[in-house]
Structure 1
Amino acid sequence: MARMSEGKETWHRLLNWDRGQAGAERLAGVLLSDEGFEEVDPSHPLGGKDGLKDIVCLFHGQKWVGGVYFPRGQKEFKEIKSKFTHDLDGVFKNNAKGFVFITNQELRLSERKELSEINKDIDIDIYHLERISNYLNTPKAYGIRMEFLDIDMTKEEQLSYFESYGRKIERIEKTINDLSVNLQTYKSINNAIDEDSEFRKMDEIYEMIDEFFDKIWFDRHLGLRYRVEHKGEKINPEIWEGALKSAQKVIDKYGDENLGPYTDFEWGMLNGKLSALRWVVGEEWDMLDT
């Protein structure tokens, strides 16, 4: 049978999925990993209770759970919505921040909007039929498409793949070259500044940037800790545990007596010094992110 063109082959094979839940969850896991999700962990692709989470992962450091729905053929929207809402409950049960829904079903814009607004307190991302199909038809995903859908590359796709690969190599070469130039510049600056010079060395500047960063972050952490302990503000337990460990490292490094409290003047000076030093090394003015 001749292969359909214009991406239709991928679209139809996804819609008429015949590889079961295990294959669907594994495809979803590879897709999410390639799309920037981290520590992607399919729960029970071979069957068994999954605790309302087909997949557990991290996105921008936050815990997300995923629902995977790959029936054979297009289903009515009420069936899709039923599966979506069922899996959405896993966000609360698993103390997660967001929910990603991966499905081989075609969803209209209005239907995606309806699903995304079921609970506005939850971050939601939906990978629907058209979105997955488009992704699998890009050069970087040809291998994934071949593995899960048995679709080989056409001659045109092979040309596109190697062209894309060539551009990637060029970008890598440019990055390496830029790093080499920056390293040589850094060495030249350091060599030009002898021990008797009034100018600071770059190592000293970066050391002070790290110190001001730590002290400003720690002071902001104390404000958050007060709200958590006395005002009832809620933080993801895993994130909060990590924040407490980081705070203790700052205390161990600088000593409790050197970490405030600060007067308004001292706080302004601390932030001003960080902003000025960051500007010296190439960042924008008022860059005070911690």
Structure 2
Amino acid sequence: MSTSSRLPLINRAAGRIAGAGGKRLRPALTLATALALGGSVSSRVVTAAACVELIHAGSLVHDDLMDNAAERRGVRTLNAELGDARALVVGDFMLARAGLVALSSTSKPVAETLAAVVVELAEGQFQEAAELFDPDRTFEDALRSITGKTAALFRASCLVAHPAGRSMAEYGERFGVIFQILDDLLDLASTAERLGKPVGNDLRQGVYTVPLLLALRHDHDDLRSFLGRRLSEDEIASLLARLRRSRMVDDTLEYCRGLASDALASLPVIADPRIARVLYGLPSAYIDRAQALVVA
């Protein structure tokens, strides 16, 4: 589906990104939602799940471009390999292709849901970019941004699965918020060795995330001096050490556990015990994983 351009270079580039691996959480949530609501994994549901993943993959191309990232999962990014202009077009192609396939092979409501979520992704990412290095960024600002740039696609993963997908939408959105907050936490509280990628990237880029803003609530004066400007690598190392000694990890995990409780409370009755175990266990499993990866 991602390799349907008449231009071979676009096919190769889009195919490499779509096939690069990853957790595939969003399409898995589409399939699990269909089963949880008494449906089946039909070809339409599989196509909807593939469209969700293609949107995610296309958004990653744009993320790498905005971050000027050279690698993702140990592989050179498209912007590093092809240049910014061509990477931008490949990302656009993947988003547009997902919309076309949804319209032709699923249903108009599914296509409309996916088109709307692309708008939310763009708005959430724009808000984050507009608030870079902003020392007055609030906790609510950060939550609003990640709800758009990350959690909205998890919500859409549920909505496109089944006509009754709205009953799972809140669960998907809350899990998406948990997912992003934990990812942001690990960028501040884990190590490159444990994660397999550099840490402290949000600080380098001036993204003041939920975990950092939680830390500021208890260590306002000491940490505020690092905000509002670009930091040297020595300053980043110093700030990371201070954050790891603070209450940031405990406060962030506690906040995520509260979100997990709310997510589980929003689930409908699920008749299939296997699917129920997966959906009820998913938020806590991610919280436990993050806790295991932080620096003690």
TM-score normalised by L of structure 1 = 0.25
- The structure whose residues are more often helix, as a share, is 2
Question: Radius of gyration: which is bigger?
Answer: 1
- The structure whose residues are more often strand, as a share, is 1
- Name the structure, 1 or 2, with higher relative contact order (CA <8 Å, separation 6+): 2
